[in-house]
Amino acid sequence: MGKIKVGVIGLGSISKQHIQGYLHNQDAEIIAVADINEERAKQKAEELNITDYYTDYRELLQNNEIDAVSICTWNNSHAEIAIAALHAGKNVLTEKPLCKTVEEALAVEEAVKKFPDQFLQVGYVRRFGTNTQVLKRFIDNGELGEIYYAKASCLRVLGNPGGWFADTDRSGGGPLIDLGVHVIDLCWYLMGKPKVKSVSGNAYQKLGNRSNVEFKSFYKAADYNAEQNTVEDSANALIRFENGASLMVDVSFALHTKKNEISVSLYGDKGGADIEPSLEIFTEKNNIMLNSTPQIDHLSFNFQKGFQNEIDHFIRCNKGEEKTIAPVEDGVEMMKILTGVYQSSQEQKEIRFD
Ligand SMILES: NC(=O)c1ccc[n+]([C@@H]2O[C@H](COP(=O)([O-])OP(=O)(O)OC[C@H]3O[C@@H](n4cnc5c(N)ncnc54)[C@H](O)[C@@H]3O)[C@@H](O)[C@H]2O)c1
């Protein structure tokens, strides 16, 4: 089998990680790129030394040489592009979140089912972090026992990037759909993907984007406009699963607190673990409480390594060597959770999925 020929759609910030991943994979070759921003598409094609660049992704999909695509566009186009790519015979790696709504997620799932020889991988890159892979091995070997509770926080003090991130129409929401998706998925995946039973959540718009703050810099999207912001600035939720397990989460783009924070912990009846900010496992042996720190390269999520692992896995799946560990169903369950939190907040009641 020759190299897997790849097209990359959407050429902003995160596409750089995908492109680097493919360039460092000897079984992959990028042969086309697309972005609605023509200048960006042209420049990227030049950089990659390829001639095929498009402003309309549908033209890229017509290229029969392409086996697989990476979708790195804004959230509002993930579903449409994924469905079109599947219909065009391509395998798909789409950035998180899978899409904006449960309806869209179900439509993508239907398209995946229609083409059983193809697959779609959701860009849950944190599943590919060394800390996650190592902890998963301990969990699979029963070291934590039954995981009945998990807790995740991803808090930014001053971190609304503006641009499309702050525009609900293009993003589907703020920190919940942007940051929450990562940490909720990480817990859910390591808990063994239990079926969600109910969600109770709150989304707040109290501080806005804090564009008034002076003497403190933060990441801004290319088209940052301080006046435009329609997303929540923080959210929290309690998620219950059918097996009785629960997950508590809170996230923010803006919050009056001391510093940015990421913490993800799991609690089982035989042991517990912190994944972030740094992997550590807590057990009991000989009636002694024991804290263990694995000796591994990356105790915290390493962006570059995580993306390389994700892309390498995607390519192996394309070659038929592995089955994706982040299938479309996992995107659908996540969209139920995320949109459930927004609905719960709006209606001020628990949303049940029975
Ligand atoms: N996995 C991660 O850690 C991670 C991190 C950042 C962003 N993301 C995800 O990646 C996606 C892109 O985010 P970003 O930060 O790169 O945004 P970005 O704005 O930097 O880049 C998006 C690019 O997509 C292009 N685009 C938008 N709609 C398009 C369409 N219909 N057809 C072709 N091109 C289109 C835009 O012109 C832009 O160049 C989002 O879904 C985001 O959630 C994931």
Q: Residues of the chain with pLDDT > 70: what percent?
A: 100
The CATH number of 4-124+308-324 is 3.40.50.720
Ligand 1 centroid, distance to 198 Cα (angstroms): 30
Identical fold at 4-124+308-324 and 127-302+334-352?
A: no
Nearest CA to ligand 1 atom 19: 12
38, 58, 73, 94, best to mutate for ligand 1 pocket (most atoms within 8 Å of CB): 73
Whole-Å CA distances, 193 to 88, 245, 283, 314, 327: 30, 11, 23, 20, 12
Please give the sequence-ordered ranges of beta strands (E in DSSP) within 14-143, or none if there are none.
28-34, 52-54, 68-71, 91-95, 120-123
Residues 1, 288: contact at Cβ < 8 Å? Answer: no
Nearest to 129 by CA among 275, 281, 333, 294: 275
Determine whether the shortest distance from the Cβ of 34 to ligand 1 is under 6 A: yes
- Residue boundaries of the structural domains of the chain: 4-124+308-324, 127-302+334-352
Residues 171-226 pLDDT 10s: 999 999 999 999 999 999 999 999 999 999 999 999 999 999 999 999 999 889 99
Q: Residues of the chain with pLDDT > 90: what percent?
A: 99
Q: Which helix or strand (DSSP H or E) is residue 350 part of?
A: none
Residues with Cβ within 8 Å of 221's Cβ and at least 6 positions away in sequence, in order, are 161, 162, 163, 164, 165, 166
Nearest to 176 by CA among 96, 296, 281: 96
Residue 49 has pLDDT above 90, yes or no: yes
Residue 1 has pLDDT above 80, yes or no: no
Residue 72 has pLDDT above 80, yes or no: yes
Determine whether the shortest distance from the Cβ of 17 to ligand 1 is under 6 A: no
What pLDDT does residue 126 have? Answer: 98
Share the mean pLDDT of the chain.
97
d(CA 329, CA 19): 26
Ligand 1 centroid, distance to 138 Cα (angstroms): 34
Atom of ligand 1 at shortest range from CA of 76: 28
Residues 108-125 pLDDT 10s: 999 999 999 999 999 999
d(CA 238, CA 152): 11
Query: What are 75's strand-pairing partners?
Result: none
Whole-Å CA distances, 220 to 74, 209, 240, 346: 15, 11, 35, 28
Angle between helices 102-114 and 328-347 (to 10 degrees): 170
Determine whether the shortest distance from the Cβ of 75 to ligand 1 is under 6 A: yes
What pLDDT does residue 316 have? Answer: 98
What is the topology classification, in CATH, of domain 127-302+334-352? Answer: Dihydrodipicolinate Reductase; domain 2 (3.30.360)
Determine the distance from the C-alpha atom of residue 186 to the mean position of all C-alpha atoms in its chain, rounded to a whole number.
Answer: 9
d(CA 4, CA 27): 6
What pLDDT does residue 56 have? Answer: 98
Q: Which helix or strand (DSSP H or E) is residue 347 part of?
A: helix 328-347
What type of residue sits at position 96?
Answer: K
d(CA 237, CA 251): 9
Nearest CA to ligand 1 atom 21: 12
Ligand 1 centroid, distance to 10 Cα (angstroms): 6
Residues 218-267 pLDDT 10s: 999 988 999 999 999 999 999 999 999 999 999 999 999 999 999 999 99
Which of helix, strand or coil describes residue 216?
coil
pLDDT band at residue 354 under the 50/70/90 scheme:
confident
Ligand 1 centroid, distance to 11 Cα (angstroms): 7
